[in-house]
Structure 1
Amino acid sequence: MAALRLLPGRARDFASSDYWERFFRERGGRAFEWYGEWQDLRASLGRYLRPRDSILVAGCGNSELSEQLYDEGYQDITNVDISEVVIKQMQERSAHLRPKMTYMVMDVLQMDFPDERFQVVLDKGTLDALLTDGEETTLSRAERMFAEISRVLQFGGRYLCVTLAQAHVSKMAIEYFSREGWMVRIHQVSGDKAGTSEGEFALPIFVYVMTKIRRVPGSALCILELCAEAQDKPIRFKSTEHLIEAVKEMQHYSLLRSQINKNPSSGTVSLDLCSKDTGQARYTLHVVHSLTVKASFDNKFAIFIVPQGRETEWLFGTDEGRKQLATCAGFWRLVTVALHRDQHYEGMEAIQAELSEKVMELAPPGLPAGQQVPFLSVGGDIGIRTIQHRGTSPLSGEYVIEDVKGDGGHCFRRLIFLSNRNVVQSEARLSFRSSHKGELRCGEDEMGVTLLQGNEALPRNKKHKKKKKTASINSAEPAAEPAAVPAGQSIDKTYLCCAHHRAMIAGLCLLKNPEHLPASSSYDAIMFDVDSKDSALGMSCPPPDFVEKSFLQKVRTLLKKEGLFILNLVCRDTQLHDTVLATLRETFPLLYVRRIEGEVNEILFCQQQAKHKLPPAELRDTAQILEKALRQPGQAWDATYVLADVLEAVKLL
């Protein structure tokens, strides 16, 4: 707690010599390690230091970094600091143990050294202490510091800056040195080692490596590179803006990791992993916790690969579904991985190799080194996604029509608007049925997953087999190569993919004679399932004009007296939802609702004669009559669609 009392009331005080005099006087001889010790920074700094280098430590403070470097053989070290108190302390500490070490009171904005005196300038936290904000006077001070560093460095020399890389610091440093024609390379220090001697930072620590090279006349080329954690090969960027943005993304990722570990009950954390080559999103990761699972080393963490095309299913595409998936699989923390369209994947083994390093960064703290973390999936392959058509709608923008392998090995043809790429706009089941038997069922009493190692599906892990009335994933033998869905397959017209469509059709049972729907100038039934394009309204179906009282009255005039108006309502705004229901009640005296489990959709059945209310027993009889009328002899029928079952959840409002 003593360190907290030493912190200044204003950030700008970090740049004050009076503040640092007081800080080191009150701190005494105890070292304060801004941003970690030498052992934490060795992997990033060590490759840019040679024992023969003449090193200037700018703003040394009472850090032990210089002493640790000296003891490892880097003995040509000059330390400067603006505080007389700390320089005296450090001189006394090293006088006998490190006779070649030099300490000097000096302002880094105006140093007394001759030009090109050093091969390395090492700065751990000094730039951050000086550049506390983006004000013009502060930026001017930082520019003076950079100019002095440039002056005292030899050509080929390196300015090594250990920093938190806050936005204004990152922008100033990268733009200044790239403008001067220097080579700019940024390393992220391992997230496990970022912090001070008093605690850890939520933000990652970076090492900026600015190499002074001679500017080639007429050349605008500047080398800009970034090295992530444990990554040897740097990524090169074409502009300072792109490099600055990449640093921000790494900081955001580090904050997400911190949030996950500090507060696992805060909800699902989602992020995209992008292709290094194209910058396009390649994987979407969702980190979920099942707090009802008692965590041990064996079931603390797992990764679940969602086969292509199945990311829209409730179990994989909603927070509630993913939590249930984690519980059923028996893991405390589960990372689900969705594969993006327009990306090529070689197979499960290649995906695991590509993801292993990154997903392990999301592992819970305390996981033993070398702990085997399982990759799970439905079956042993990555699924099928075949794009059949692309286009652009003037109303909805870009869209794709694609075939995917879904639940039960069936193949589906889907329409997806890319403005909302994880929502299936419409879907039909193809008559083709895959021979692959991996399937996903909800409401079963057994849980099993396919445990993957390389590209093979191993036997189900028996200790995760549990009796539960929850989601069930049945393991299957690994498929060889997933085959493309054959072109020209017919549509299974007996199957309704959307739960709300099933409810709308079942609602026809509310009619007096649902098996007879003759054509007429007035209608027995009118259905609305209309998408709204205004995402800011809080109601995505239907557009507001379709539920205005004047419009609903026109709908009523088109219905027979015993007719039925069926509306798919998707409204997240509570106040707007209540307003729509009130308007419907004013227009239609009899109002039923069928809410769709796991979705926002609710189907409203509206009639203009309250006396036409059907009792439950009569409703079941009517359902059987309608279902018999819909079944046509000699044609297929979807046995999973039972009208009476759908109607059980219909409530009178």
Structure 2
Amino acid sequence: MLVPLNRETDWTFSTFSGHLQLLLTLPHLSRLILVSNWTNYTNPISYKMGKCDFEDDLFEVEASLMPVMLALAPELGFYRDGEVSLAPKLDFCRSGEVSEVPFLRYEDEVVEIEVLEIFEGSIVGEMLVEDVVLRFGDGEKGFRRRLRFKRMPNLVQSQMRICRNNDDKLNEEKLELKGGGERFLVDDRVLVQPYLEPMVAGMMVIGGWLDGRIRDGLRPKALCLGVGGGALVRFLNSQMGFEVFGVEEDETVLQVGRKYFGLESSESIHLCVGDAIETIKKLAYRDSKWNGEVSSGYCKENGWCYNRLASKFDVIMVDMDSSDAKLGTCAPPLEFIRKSVLLAAKTILSDFGALIINVIPPTKSLYEKLINELREFFAELYVIDVGNEENFVLIASVSDGTASGDCANAFTIKVRSSVSESYIDSIRKISNSVN
């Protein structure tokens, strides 16, 4: 793989975890060799895409590298006339590539990166905040602020659209990254992380229940397991009217969210530092002991002020991924797919509540296991295919379709105005058979 010029220092190409993730995204390959310009930088630096020096004579570059590639290739990996050949020949395809050693070029939507700051978290390790310019297939530009972890550098943990400071109207074409991230504000009116819109769309399953809560003068409650930069927390609060409780394992991540993503605690946003799985277990124990009520007070263990949680959560949003790079990109973590955890989640949900999970299944069997475990505790299951060939959103409702959002009401109308209609239309009920 030819590394894009000037992106050699990106953690994707300069760390073991980045190399491993690249290889895991190409399951048909047994080994991957990265070819790049040498650099002695230890951390990612800002980048602006330009024309590669070798773009016009790519064939010649590949041909010059071929002897080295063949020397590094496993001998038993070459075949001639159906038999193993210990002396591979240069067999050029019509496209000009050598069939035994395919050359790949890394391409994504990023055309410019400005690294704002690098942090060290006690749990997640090194992380960075960057402003990026994206160019989409239709030629349109997008401007984003992103949070990435070094342990999983190919996975964007959080991203939000950015606009010019004190600019009432968002005009991305006028933005320039040069000059520092302090000139920009994050925009919480839209969700740009691919799977967040489908997670919000999943609330249509219990739209009738949520609308009834609001008409009764009650503010719906959402528990977000995994906060990151806080895009979902802020959107649920500011755009959907929820009181939101967020749990994040690393305090430094919350500090980053406050500094760069506009995340703030308030009377309707409560942030907790702690292990998400342990937190829902403790909340479930509290409900079983005090029947859903707890005195006003302060939880010294994780710094979360409960503010008289006299009612259960209407929605639990699960946006957590595995911390083990060897598993590849995997969400939720395997620890979440346990009967005790799923039972705890159901326990702290209201009678018509829903558990909504961002799912990136590394294997079909793991996906089927999650479906089967959820089916044991929840009345109905629904799925939304995000459409990026990676993410699915699972919706598990405590009760059956009596709280459906099929009919129009104030809440479902708000959802439809906030997310793409295609995600709402693609909500599919999962039958008793996983397939």
Which whole-Å CA distance do the structure 2 matches of 1:415 and 1:561 have between them? 35
User: Is 1:506 matched up with 2:201?
Assistant: yes
Q: Are residues 341 and 599 of structure 1, via their aligned partners in 2, closer, same or farther at CA, if it must alter by over 3 Å?
A: farther
Name which of 408, 414, 417 aligns with 2:146.
414
Kindly name which structure, 1 or 2, has the bigger radius of gyration based on alpha carbons: 1
Note the C-alpha offset of 1:359.
4.3
Which whole-Å CA distance do the structure 1 matches of 2:32 and 2:375 have between them? 40
Contact kept? 1:391, 1:400, Cα under 8 Å: yes
2:379 match: 589
Q: Are residues 499 and 482 of structure 1, via their aligned partners in 2, closer, same or farther at CA, if it must alter by over 3 Å?
A: closer
Identity of aligned residues (%): 22
Q: Give the counterpart letter for 2:395 in structure 1.
A: F
Name which of 375, 394, 397 aligns with 2:125.
397
Structure 2 matches for 1:495-534, cutoff 5 A?
495-511=190-206, 512-515=208-211, 516=214, 517-518=219-220, 520-534=310-324
Contact kept? 2:48, 2:111, Cα under 8 Å: no
Contact kept? 2:49, 2:111, Cα under 8 Å: no
1:435 match: 173
Note the C-alpha offset of 1:612.
2.2
Q: Are residues 578 and 589 of structure 1, via their aligned partners in 2, closer, same or farther at CA, if it must alter by over 3 Å?
A: same
* Between 268-277 and 540-549, the greater mean CA deviation after superposition: 268-277
User: Is 1:274 matched up with 2:36?
Assistant: yes
Contact kept? 2:47, 2:114, Cα under 8 Å: no
Q: Give the counterpart letter for 2:411 in structure 1.
A: L
Contact kept? 1:411, 1:430, Cα under 8 Å: yes
Note the C-alpha offset of 1:409.
1.6
Note the C-alpha offset of 1:505.
0.6
Which whole-Å CA distance do the structure 1 matches of 2:49 and 2:57 have between them? 11
Higher relative contact order (CA 8 A, sep 6+): 2
User: Is 1:621 matched up with 2:323?
Assistant: no
Structure 2 matches for 1:21-100, cutoff 5 A?
none
1:652 match: 429
Contact kept? 1:572, 1:600, Cα under 8 Å: no
Contact kept? 1:403, 1:413, Cα under 8 Å: yes
Which whole-Å CA distance do the structure 2 matches of 1:272 and 1:607 have between them? 46
Note the C-alpha offset of 1:507.
1.2
Contact kept? 2:317, 2:355, Cα under 8 Å: yes
Contact kept? 1:345, 1:351, Cα under 8 Å: no
Contact kept? 1:538, 1:573, Cα under 8 Å: no
Which whole-Å CA distance do the structure 2 matches of 1:400 and 1:435 have between them? 25
Contact kept? 1:384, 1:483, Cα under 8 Å: no
Which whole-Å CA distance do the structure 1 matches of 2:30 and 2:189 have between them? 37
TM-score, normalised to structure 2's length? 0.51
Which whole-Å CA distance do the structure 2 matches of 1:279 and 1:600 have between them? 32
Which whole-Å CA distance do the structure 2 matches of 1:344 and 1:547 have between them? 39
1:440 match: none
List gaps (5 residues or longer) in structure 1.
1-265, 281-339, 369-374, 438-480, 632-636
Contact kept? 1:387, 1:400, Cα under 8 Å: yes
Which whole-Å CA distance do the structure 2 matches of 1:353 and 1:483 have between them? 29
Deviation string for 1:353-405 (max 9, x for gaps)? 8978524658955789xxxxxx9x999xx822100010222333222111100
Note the C-alpha offset of 1:346.
8.5
Which whole-Å CA distance do the structure 2 matches of 1:556 and 1:421 have between them? 33
Q: Aligned with 2:45: secondary structure? A: coil
Structure 2 matches for 1:221-620, cutoff 5 A?
271-276=33-38, 278=40, 341-342=44-45, 347-348=50-51, 350=53, 352=55, 357-359=60-62, 361=64, 383-406=111-134, 407=136, 408-432=140-164, 433-435=171-173, 483=178, 487-511=182-206, 512-515=208-211, 516=214, 517-518=219-220, 520-536=310-326, 540-612=330-402, 614=404, 619=406
Which whole-Å CA distance do the structure 2 matches of 1:557 and 1:345 have between them? 50
Q: Aligned with 1:272: secondary structure? A: coil
Q: Aligned with 2:196: secondary structure? A: helix
* Cα-Cα RMSD: 4.0
Q: Give the counterpart letter for 1:387 in structure 2.
A: V
Q: Aligned with 2:210: secondary structure? A: coil
Note the C-alpha offset of 1:341.
4.4
Note the C-alpha offset of 1:591.
0.9
Which whole-Å CA distance do the structure 2 matches of 1:554 and 1:277 have between them? 49
Which whole-Å CA distance do the structure 2 matches of 1:367 and 1:559 have between them? 57
Q: Are residues 366 and 428 of structure 1, via their aligned partners in 2, closer, same or farther at CA, if it must alter by over 3 Å?
A: closer
Which whole-Å CA distance do the structure 1 matches of 2:316 and 2:108 have between them? 40
Deviation string for 1:198-238 (max 9, x for gaps)? xxxxxxxxxxxxxxxxxxxxxxxxxxxxxxxxxxxxxxxxx
1:248 match: none
Structure 2 matches for 1:71-150, cutoff 5 A?
none
Q: Aligned with 2:198: secondary structure? A: helix
Which whole-Å CA distance do the structure 2 matches of 1:565 and 1:571 have between them? 17
Q: Are residues 344 and 273 of structure 1, via their aligned partners in 2, closer, same or farther at CA, if it must alter by over 3 Å?
A: farther
Contact kept? 2:351, 2:399, Cα under 8 Å: yes
Q: Give the counterpart letter for 1:390 in structure 2.
A: I
Q: Aligned with 2:154: secondary structure? A: coil
Q: Are residues 532 and 268 of structure 1, via their aligned partners in 2, closer, same or farther at CA, if it must alter by over 3 Å?
A: closer
Q: Are residues 552 and 352 of structure 1, via their aligned partners in 2, closer, same or farther at CA, if it must alter by over 3 Å?
A: same
2:307 match: none
Q: Aligned with 2:183: secondary structure? A: coil
TM-score, normalised to structure 1's length? 0.35
Note the C-alpha offset of 1:274.
2.6
1:304 match: none
Q: Are residues 278 and 353 of structure 1, via their aligned partners in 2, closer, same or farther at CA, if it must alter by over 3 Å?
A: farther
Q: Are residues 539 and 424 of structure 1, via their aligned partners in 2, closer, same or farther at CA, if it must alter by over 3 Å?
A: closer
Which whole-Å CA distance do the structure 1 matches of 2:376 and 2:108 have between them? 49
Which whole-Å CA distance do the structure 2 matches of 1:539 and 1:487 have between them? 31
Q: Are residues 489 and 593 of structure 1, via their aligned partners in 2, closer, same or farther at CA, if it must alter by over 3 Å?
A: same
Q: Are residues 351 and 605 of structure 1, via their aligned partners in 2, closer, same or farther at CA, if it must alter by over 3 Å?
A: same
Q: Give the counterpart letter for 1:546 in structure 2.
A: F
Q: Are residues 506 and 521 of structure 1, via their aligned partners in 2, closer, same or farther at CA, if it must alter by over 3 Å?
A: same
Q: Give the counterpart letter for 1:524 in structure 2.
A: D
Which whole-Å CA distance do the structure 2 matches of 1:560 and 1:378 have between them? 42
Contact kept? 1:529, 1:568, Cα under 8 Å: yes
Q: Aligned with 1:621: secondary structure? A: coil
